[in-house]
Amino acid sequence: LHWLCHNSGVETLQDTAAMNVPRIKPSHLPRSFLSSPQQFKNFIISTSNMSWRTLAKSNSDLINGIKNLGLVKSDIVFQAMKNVDRGHFADDKATAYFDRPQSIGYGATISAPHMHAFAMEDLKDHIHKGARILDVGSGSGYLCACFAEMLDILEKGDKDLSYEGQGRVFGLEIVKELVDKSVNNLKKFDKGRKWLESGRIRIIHGNGWEGLDEVAGPFDAIHVGAAAEEVPQKLMHILAPGGRCVIPVGEQHNTQYYKVIDKTLDGEIKASNKMEVQYVPLVRQGKGMEKRKVSNHEQKQQKGTV
């Protein structure tokens, strides 16, 4: 750890403490940092202002904590995150309300709450009554639940809204075991069961690189919860005119950027990089699946990644 600090320009462990990154342990860090100290520095910079600072014992305290840090800005995101208990979706109940990513098995993670907050804030203006929302790499199902709660808030009391006109959330997950796990997570609480029964939420076993067909789309908002080597063009095809997609892009163990991609009403794609991040890869069917299914131990070592 001292070697990493010296070679990355983070000269001392005291510097990391000054940047509010307490209790860093070597087991928290991916081995790729040894070959790329710059990645370690980027990790320190990113986590100093976001993660590791809210260690709560309840969902309410967690969301209040990240709001107090300025990471949740709008009322609808605040209410949605407060109404969906992260504890239903996290495997490790002892750290369910920590602002950290957590392994959910099969090489996947439930992202740190502040990253979910960023995504929801970036997409909120594209989530409206009747919106169709796609979560690619839906994993635990947590963000699908948050999106469904946003729709519930927006559509509450609208008696003129037909069933067909109600908003829908589609989760797309390539690992069948995680599809089943996310459905079981949603069944843990009354509202989750109602969302599944009513069709407000559908979790589908499928390939994020292929997107979903036009029967489900086009989508007003698309969130991708794993890093793609490049922007999947099929996702751009099913993004509605006027819609927005947020997606991490870049190779694993190299620089990745959290991109905000808008499609104008005339179909033009405009993309911008918001920040550097580190996500698990958005795998393709038949490519990377075996690695993903045996990498749980490695993921447990990567609790410091976003």
Q: Any idea which residues carry the catalytic annotation?
A: 111
What 3-state class would DSSP assign to 40? helix
Bridge partners, residue 260, by sequence = 246, 272
**Is the CB of residue 142 less than 8 Å from the CB of residue 84?**
yes
Exposed (0-12), middle (13-18) or buried (19+): which is 64, by Cβ within 10 Å? middle
From first CA to last CA, the distance across the chain in angstroms is 19
**According to DSSP H, which parts of 156-253 are helical?**
176-186, 190-198, 233-238
For the chain, how many residues are written?
306
Task: Find the DSSP H helices in 37-189.
Answer: 37-48, 59-68, 75-83, 113-123, 142-155, 176-186
Sign for the CA dihedral angle at 197, 198, 201, 204 comes to: positive
- The DSSP line for 259-273 is EEEEE-TTS-EEEEE
Instruction: Give the separation between CA 24 and CA 1, rounded to whole angstroms.
Output: 9
The C-alpha torsion from 170 through 172 and 178 to 180, rounded to 10°, is 50
What are the respective helix, strand and coil percentages of the chain, to the nearest 5?
40, 20, 40
Q: Are 279 and 248 in contact (CB under 8 A)?
A: yes
- List Cβ neighbours of 116 (8 Å cut-off, separation of 6 or more): 81, 142, 143, 146
- Say if residues 91 and 45 touch (Cβ distance below 8 Å): no
